[in-house]
Structure formats: C-alpha cells, structure tokens
Amino acid sequence: MPRLAVAVAPIGLAAALGLGALASAESATEQHSVNTATQPVGVQSPAPAPVLSPAAPEAPVALAAPKAEDQKPAEIKPQAVTKQLPVSYEAQKTGYWCGPAATRIAMSSKTGDLPSQSEMAKTLGTTTNGTDHVGQVADGLNKLVGNTGAHYEAKDLSSREISPEMKKELWDDTVRNIDSGKAMVANIVAKPGNQPPGYPSSKTIYHYVAVTGYDAEKKNVKISDPANFSGNKEYWLSLDKLTSLTQPRGYVA
C-alpha cells in the first residue's frame, strides 16, 4: 500500500501542473480575445497629436499707395483782393493841366516831396493845348522819382485794336504796379455814351487820370480824377471800361 501512494503522488502533481498550465493558456487566450474584440478590424489606433511650434508672426501687409488720380487736392477758392494806394489828391487848376495834376497824384504814391502843378507842367512840357503824349508823362516821372527806384514806361495803344490781349496787359500792369506801390497815369478819350461818372455827356473829353488801385474779384480799377466832374474825385471803373477809354491814347506804367 505505501508504494501505491508514492506512485499516485507524482500523477496528481502532474495533473495539477497540467491543469494549471491549461488554465494559464485559457486565461491568456481569453485575454487576447478581449483585447482584439475592443479594437475594430481595419481601424488603426490614432497617432499621437504632433507637437506644434508657435506660428511665426505674419508680415504686415503693405497697403497700395493711392493712385495719382485719386489724390485730388482740396479745392481752394481765391480770396478777393482789393488794394488802394494812399495818394495826395489835388484837382487840376486849369482846364489844360489835367496831365500835370494826374501825374502829381500818381507821383504822391512814391514820395511826399511834390512839385506844384505849374512846376509839373514845365517838367512835362505841357502847354495850353495840354500834354500831347503819354511819353512826356513817363519821362517826367522818371526824372522826378527815379531816385526812389521806380521806373515808368509809356504804352501807346493808339495803333492797336481792343482785344483780350490788350485787356490782360492793362490788368497785369495795373496789378503789378499797384502791388509795388506805384500808381499809374492813363490818357483817356471819353466820348458821349462811354464816359466815367459825372462827365459832360454831350462832349468828348480828352483827359488824364491816375490809376491808384484794383479790385481782383470784380476786375475793377480805382481812378483818382483831377477833373472832379460833378464832385467825382475818385471812383471805380471796370477793366473793360478803362480799356475802351485808354485804347485811343495809352497809359504810363
């Protein structure tokens, strides 16, 4: 009986070992089945999210420069300009001293040292027939006020027709001379129907006046008139009017 017990013991141990191995194998198989069951066939496990570096800042976008035609300057309205020179007025003392009197008024825009009308008449070569030509006025003024730096030129218009060019020339001369502080002298022919204010309407008046200012907005010219017809010592004329009055003779600028 003792030998049988010894023989059985190894078999029981082997059986026990076999059962344990089987149980381990089944457990492993069962574990494998669980793992494969949780992973769908044909679907890979998601890859780990990549680590992203911080994005570089975007370069500033350059704005297109506005086209030249889009850059419209603001509209500027010219300002009205009125300029008048301070002058010493004196009415003519004889019917034929309008040249000396008008020249004396114009001269006063440059100096206060003024000759008498009779002295001015001698300087200009004025006679009882008047002062014949605007060139005499220009020469007299250059003698009397040349030391001030002022220079005068005679412009004879008698051989020219009235034109836009003539009007522009007269206007430009007026503005330039008044701006420089120099009054002008105009030799006018005022016919009936085309006369300054107060003139005898039935007569043609041959006369000299001083041009002492301008109004740029209205294109008017300021006149200082030694005749003083009907008390009109000073008045405004349009550029067109002065051009028509001056064209038969001329002016000094």
pLDDT tens, 133-177?
999 999 999 999 999 999 999 999 999 999 999 999 999 999 999
Helix, strand, or coil (residue 237): strand
Q: State the residue for tokens 């206007």.
A: 171
Is the pTM higher than 0.85? The answer reads no
- pLDDT above 60 (res 203): yes
Q: Residue 121 and residue 92: Cα distance in Å, rounded? A: 11
What pLDDT was estimated at residue 11? 36
pLDDT tens, 33-90?
334 334 433 334 444 555 445 555 555 555 555 555 555 556 555 456 899 999 999 9
- pLDDT above 90 (res 224): yes
pLDDT tens, 2-35?
433 433 333 343 333 343 433 343 443 334 333 4
Looking at the chain, which runs of residues are DSSP E strands?
82-84, 154-156, 184-190, 205-215, 220-224, 234-238, 250-252
Residue whose C-alpha is closest to residue 116's, from 104, 106, 124: 104
Q: Residue 130 and residue 99: Cα distance in Å, rounded? A: 7
Q: Domains in the chain, please, with CATH? A: 90-252 (3.90.70.30)
Residue whose C-alpha is closest to residue 188's, from 206, 201, 172: 206
- pLDDT above 70 (res 220): yes
Q: Residue 11 and residue 26: Cα distance in Å, rounded? A: 22
- Which residues, in sequence order, are bridge partners of residue 206? 189
